[in-house]
Amino acid sequence: MSGVLFQSACNRVMMPSCELMIHHGFLSLEGVSNTVQSNALWNRKIDEKMLKIYESRAVNGPYFSSKDMNENAVAKFIDKKIKKFGDWSLTAEEAVYYGFCDGVYGQEGFETSDKILNC
């Protein structure tokens, strides 16, 4: 959830040595079949909600902007990456490139806390 919560920030800034990991929710199923089915459906809804949150912020990132991708195409791209890797890990610079982050602390526009807090 930390990657999803991070998207709510006005300015999403990462430290240079940090990484961002994006993945679908983890689900372990046990119990009677209707409970298992209900939990699996709920997990799918949460994954879809997560993709919507990511797509809404990432669509303006350099990668997706350069390809003129709309939000639906961005969500499909992100979902495909997650399904391919399980955990999609990005460096701070990659997170900026894909639009999950606005900047890296110390880079232009993000040199000081005062500049970062000016939303």
pLDDT at 115: 87
User: Which pLDDT does position 29 carry in this prediction?
Assistant: 80
Let me know the angle formed at the C-alpha of 89 by 83 and 95, rounded to the nearest 5 degrees.
Answer: 110
What pLDDT is attached to residue 48?
A: 95
Domains and CATH numbers, the chain: 2-117 (3.90.226.10)
Beta bridge partner(s), residue 27? none
pLDDT tens per residue, range 27-55: 888 889 999 999 899 999 999 999 999 99
β-sheet bridge partners, residue 21: 89
DSSP state of 107: S
pLDDT of the residue at 119: 73
The pLDDT averaged over each successive group of 10 residues in the chain (119 residues) is 92 96 88 90 94 97 97 97 94 98 95 86
Q: Which two tokens stand for residue 17?
A: 């040595």
